[in-house]
Chain A
Amino acid sequence: MSQLFYVWPFVRLGLADVWRHKTRSFLTMLGMVFGVASVIAMLAVGEGASQQALESIKRLGSQNILLSSEKPPESSGSGAGRSKLAMYGLLYEDEQRIRETVPEVLLTVPARMVRRNTRFSDRQMELRVVETEPTWFDVVDRPLLAGRVLRTHDLEVNANVCVLTELGVRRLLAAEEMVGQLIRIGSGTFEVVGIVKNAEGGAVQAPDSEADVYIPISTGKKLFGDTVIRYTTDGHPEGERIELGQIIVKMSSTEAVEAGSKAMEAMLARFHKKRDYKINVPLTLLREAERTKKTFNVVLGAIAGISLLVGGIGIMNIMLASVTERTKEIGIRRAIGARKSRIIVQFLINTCVLSIGGGGLGILLGVAIPMVITLTTDMPTVIQPYSLFLAFGISAGIGILFGLYPAMRAASLDPIEALRHE
């Protein structure tokens, strides 16, 4: 407590000194302001990115590997006729081969995603339909809101049942309780048995992030087949035949993911002439996110480091000027009986007032920058409470580090010389 009695007058002296040279102090603080602001912004952006990546992982599962069909680069078809049938993508065989030959595979979930005309009461619209197996809901996290999800039994009997997503419900403009209602999808009539939550958007999109409705894949195959015919704007039919849009492969453990994805890559490369598939490993996406974050950190960290260095040097420069200005005061204090260490402490406090003042402004700016980033781009940011304390610590640290030299200079002045100084 008595230390506080001792320190406070010097803090006040430092504040008065800063106030007396307002412009000079402010300009001196700028380096600190930007340095501290970059530190906070850097941590906020980094945390935002990694939370987003982690969330995607949570949504897709770190044990999962995602295979999806992709239109190969040149699939122009026969070319002679205007109508063409493109055939590409993952096959039922692929799923089977994966299950049988790739080690450590726990289960595979096939899915097809097709837009189909849907009717509900007097409304008609196109919904994004996911044809899949019940295991989908074990692999991808879709919290149930009402009713139930698909069952194995639905698959076995090709039941005409469907599970809507919230998004689907909204698109159907259904105000009433949907479970138990009938909707018409394509040529079939389906009973709504449940409603699930949609996936939230993120850096890594879940395969069904925009889906409206799920139906058993067996029912879909029986009713609609594998071929989708669309009519181009000039009235020519254009068809696509894709057996499976997606296969989610769940491995027995996170450790098995890497080897598993390599094995699948090799297997698919052997059986597909064209590269009409894509392999997504959420785990690698996380690594990519981490790498992006690292790049970000390097850039912002460099800005922060340089700003803090420049800020520190600026403060040191001002403090050296201050020591010269206050030479006489130092002489007086020494004559009165202040030890050298007391002079050092006084000047360190003064420097810290400057640096912590700059740090304080930096914290304000550092909190504002991530908010602006989030508002203007869709990059998420999370301001870390600890980063504010870190910023405070950095400010005080810079004050002490760069204040030490001027303070030592002040303390080592010869008292008599200092007193004679005008």
Chain B
Amino acid sequence: MSVSRMEEVVRLEQVKRHYHVGDEMVHALDGISFSIQKGGYWAIMGQSGSGKSTMLNILGCLDRPSSGAYWLNGVNVAEMDDDELSDHRLKNLGFIFQSFHLIPQLTVRENIEVPLLYLGLPAHERSAKANELAERVGMAHRLKHLPTELSGGQRQRVAVARALANDPAVLLADEPTGNLDTATSIQIMGLFQELHEQGKTVIIVTHEPDIANYAKSRIVLKDGRVATITEAAI
């Protein structure tokens, strides 16, 4: 697959993120610089505690760097306020988490509709869109179920459907298969593959090489620093 014009989605310049734990300073990210092109399919790898989640949260505008610059479509995130970051997440990003993070008291349909609600879609459009998304992830037959009534794999499918509801440009997944068995993992990764082929930018955090192999490009973190970067020539 080839893209005629390279378009930078995000760029990190000497990004640091540190936490104060008691008197100690934990450097979760310790000077990271790299950039992601539109349509890229990335795996962020590294051992536990190497800073993968911290990096994904910053990429996903849930967190801000302690220092360094994070450019999002040419705008420095440091200059964006909380509402602007929220709006960016709402319109351009889709999150998928290791433990699914569905809202327990909402049905499958209602969970999928949450982003649509915030986007201001009227009820009938929300409903139609939810049907379509559930169909796409193979959950159309479980729309009225509560998350607790679903298996792990089914929950993750619903989470994917919800992440896709706003038709995001970038999908961010933090160990999406961490709680799933191998067969289900393969199904979920198949979904990501499809999305990548549709031109979405996909970023997956994982420590499993099998999962990372689905991605085209790879960045390996070690103690909050970049150990290696392998970028696929698109």
| CB of B21, distance to nearest CB on chain A (Å) | 14
Docked Cα-Cα span, A332 to B91, in Å, equals 15
For A340, list chain B residues within 8 Å (CB). Answer: 82-83, 86
Chain A residues positioned under 8 Å from B86 (CB to CB): 334, 337-340
CB contact list, B75-115 vs A, under 8 A: 82-83, 86-91, 93, 95, 97, 101-106, 110, 113-115
Q: Is the CB of A337 within 8 A of B115?
A: yes
Kindly provide the distance from the CB of A322 to the nearest chain B CB, expressed in whole angstroms.
12
CA distance A13 to B105 in the complex (A): 8
Complex-state Cα separation, A331 to B123, whole angstroms: 24
Collect the chain A residues with CB atoms within 8 Å of residue B149's CB.
none
User: Is the C-beta of A416 less than 8 angstroms from some C-beta in chain B?
Assistant: yes
How many residues does chain B have at the interface if contact means C-beta atoms less than 8 Å apart? 33
Residue in contact with A335 in the complex, picked from B62, B104, B113, CB distance below 8 Å: B62
Residue of A nearest to B92 (CB): A337
Would you call A336 and B122 a contact (CB within 8 A)? no
Query: Which chain A residue has the least Cβ–Cβ distance from B118?
Result: A338
A337 adjacent to B87 (CB under 8 Å): yes
Q: Are B105 and A333 in contact (CB under 8 A)?
A: no
Interface residues on A, range: 20 to 34
Stretch at the interface among A1-9, A85-93, A260-268, A382-390: A1-9
* Interface residue from B88, B105, B120 paired with A6 (Cβ < 8 Å): B120
Query: Per a CB cutoff under 8 Å, which of B60, B97, B120, B166 touches A2?
Result: B120
Query: Is A328 an interface residue, CB under 8 A from the partner?
Result: yes
User: B101 contacts A339, CB within 8 Å?
Assistant: no
Q: Are A20 and B89 neighbours in the complex by a CB distance under 8 Å?
A: no
Instruction: Determine whether the beta carbon of A342 is less than 8 Å from that of B118.
Output: yes
Quick check: is A415 within 8 A (CB to CB) of the other chain? yes
Are A2 and B115 within 8 A (Cβ)?
A: no
A339 x B82 contact (CB < 8 A): yes
Residue of A nearest to B163 (CB): A336
Chain A residue nearest in CB terms to B126: A5
Judge whether A27 is part of the interface by a CB distance below 8 angstroms: no
B89, B97, B166: the one contacting A419 at CB < 8 Å is: B97
| A-B interface pairs (CB < 8 A), number | 72
- When each residue 117-129 of chain B gets 1 if its CB lies under 8 Å from chain A and 0 otherwise, what string results? 1101111000000
Q: Compute how far the CA of A338 lies from the CA of B95 in the bound complex, rounded to whole angstroms.
A: 13
Judge whether A336 and B87 touch: CB under 8 Å. Answer: no
Contact with B along A408-421 (1 / 0, CB 8 A): 00000001100100
What A residues does B117 contact at CB under 8 A?
Answer: 6, 9
Interchain CB contact under 8 A, B82 and A336: no
Measured between beta carbons, the chain B residues less than 8 angstroms from A13 are 105-106
Query: With A13-B105, A17-B105 in contact, is A336–B63 under 8 Å at CB?
Result: no
Contact at B166–A9, with CB atoms within 8 Å? no
- A208 at the B interface (CB under 8 A): no
A16 CB–B CB distance under 8 Å: yes
Instruction: A339 to B166: give the CA distance in the assembly, Å.
Output: 15
> Is B120 a contact of A416 with CB atoms below 8 Å?
no
Q: Is the CB of B105 within 8 A of A335?
A: no
Of B62, B88, B122, B166, the residue contacting A416 (CB under 8 A) is: B62
Q: Point out the residue from B89, B105, B106 that lies within 8 Å of A336, measured CB to CB.
A: B89
A321-362 vs B, CB cutoff 8 Å, 1 = contact: the mask equals 000000011011111111111100000000000000000000
Residues in chain B near residue A331, CB distance under 8 A: 101
A2 neighbours in B (Cβ, 8 Å): 120, 122
Residue ID in chain A nearest B95 by CB atoms: A335
Contact residues in A for B118 (Cβ distance below 8 Å)? 333, 336-338, 342
10-40 of chain A: CB within 8 A of chain B: 13, 16-17, 20
B155 to chain A, nearest CB (A): 13
B90 in contact with A336 (CB, 8 Å)? yes
Cα distance, A416 to B57, chains bound together (Å) = 8
Shortest beta-carbon distance from A116 to chain B in Å: 81
CA distance A340 to B114 in the complex (A): 15
Which A residues are in CB contact (< 8 Å) with B89? Answer: 335-337
CA distance A2 to B121 in the complex (A): 8
Task: Report yes or no: A5 in contact with B123, Cβ–Cβ below 8 A.
Answer: yes
> What's the nearest-Cβ distance from chain A to residue B102, in Å?
8
- A8 to B, closest residue via Cβ: B123
Contact with B along A302-337 (1 / 0, CB 8 A): 000000000000000000000000001101111111
A335-B101 in contact (CB<8A): yes
Interface presence of B157 (CB below 8 A): no
Interchain nearest-CB distance for A409 vs B (Å): 16
| Nearest residue, chain B, Cβ from A422 | B99
B105 to A20, Cβ gap below 8 A? yes
Other-chain residue from A16, A341, A419 in contact with B105 (beta carbon distance below 8 A) = A16
Is the CB–CB distance between A336 and B95 below 8 Å?
yes
- Which residues of the partner chain B approach A5 to less than 8 Å between Cβ atoms? 120-123
B162 at interface (Cβ–Cβ under 8 A)?
Answer: yes
Q: In the complex, given contacts A337-B93, A416-B57, what are 18 additional A-B residue pairs having Cβ atoms less than 8 angstroms apart?
A: A6-B120, A9-B110, A9-B113, A329-B103, A329-B104, A329-B105, A333-B103, A334-B86, A335-B60, A336-B90, A336-B95, A337-B87, A337-B88, A337-B115, A337-B166, A339-B82, A340-B86, A342-B118
Chain A interface residues toward B at CB < 8 A: 2, 5-6, 8-9, 13, 16-17, 20, 328-329, 331-342, 415-416, 419
Chain B interfacial positions (CB closer than 8 Å to A):
57, 60, 62-63, 82-83, 86-91, 93, 95, 97, 101-106, 110, 113-115, 117-118, 120-123, 162, 166
Which 10 A-B pairs have CB atoms at the shortest separation, nearest pair first?
A337-B90, A337-B89, A339-B86, A5-B122, A332-B101, A415-B62, A329-B103, A339-B83, A336-B115, A335-B95
